[in-house]
Amino acid sequence: MRDRVVRRGILPVAAVVALCTVAACTSSGDTDSGKGQAQPSGGRAGRADARSAAALHAVEKATTGAGSARIESSTAMGGLLSLTTDGTLGWADGSLGTLRITCTGGRLAETMHQLNSTSMEARLLPDAYYAKVGDAFARRLHGRHWIRYAYDDLAALPGGSGAQLKDQLRSTAPLQPVRLLLASGDVRRVGEETVRGRRTTHYSGTVVPAALTGRYATALREQLQQAGVTTETVDLWVDDHDLLVKKVERGELASGRMFSTAYYRDYGVKVSANRPPAEDTADFTELMGTRSP
């Protein structure tokens, strides 16, 4: 019985941390005021704006060079999960970051509430990420409060989700929404807007997984299909330094409508993430029964 209870708690923790540490396939209706907001087009525009595509290539380059940023996001995935995240992420030399994750609703949030872990800390390091659980769940781990997930061990998750989590957690730069629009062939400039006091240019497009083309098309298509995404709209707000200020994604999942909003600031900020004490850490493979305690 104990093993079944422990294993039931592992997957929600892994899913929550992954959803909060990447800017992928989900979104929240949290917008500044709705003014100038692009509406879902209901279909692809059929052609890309060449100047907009060139601008997003510049965003790719500037984001890669920045190396880190502060992130604040909110996400909802139908009735499955909704949450908020804030913290810092670095990507200059592998994944690095510290995030505060708060589950705000959905079926997985109910499970996390039972584990006394609706609000938790996540730490990303180049070889693994760590999720801090609440005291109720820690008692089932012999008093240990952290779970370590080595990226190479995530393949043990069922349904092919582990490989997806591994790829996403090792690619924490906010580049996926940019690459989605570039691969969609449907990127267009909406106009200039002020977002949280910063002057930005707004770009928008519709993403259809089957129609993606270009360098990243295969990987992006696989990620969207594994998540059950059939179509989504992506909106990006970019500042005068070619850096992403805001991202909004909307779409359809098997579990319902998805929404995700993320804000980025303080690019180049110093990021640190300390490895939790070994005596206070349980390993994911141990809890899944693939390694002896």
With a cut of 60, say whether residue 206 has pLDDT above it. Answer: yes
pLDDT tens-digit series, residues 225-277: 777 788 889 999 999 999 999 999 998 876 678 888 999 999 999 999 999 99
In this predicted structure, what is the pLDDT of residue 34? Answer: 35
pTM (global) more than 0.95 = no
In this predicted structure, what is the pLDDT of residue 194? Answer: 97
In this predicted structure, what is the pLDDT of residue 255? Answer: 65
Question: What is each CA distance from 234 to 74, 194, 208, 216, 250, in whole angstroms?
Answer: 15, 18, 11, 16, 7
Which one is predicted more confidently, 169 or 144?
Answer: 144
Average pLDDT score over residue span 217-224: 85
With a cut of 60, say whether residue 91 has pLDDT above it. Answer: yes
In this predicted structure, what is the pLDDT of residue 173? Answer: 83
With a cut of 70, say whether residue 284 has pLDDT above it. Answer: yes
pLDDT tens-digit series, residues 92-120: 988 899 989 888 888 777 777 766 677 88
Which one is predicted more confidently, 267 or 133?
Answer: 267
Average pLDDT score over residue span 120-128: 89
> What amino acid occupies position 51?
R
With a cut of 90, say whether residue 19 has pLDDT above it. Answer: no
Rounded to 10 deg, the angle between the 2-21 and 107-114 helix axes is 120
β-pair type (146-150, 281-283): parallel
In this predicted structure, what is the pLDDT of residue 37? Answer: 38
Residue with token string 């594994």: 226
Which one is predicted more confidently, 202 or 28?
Answer: 202
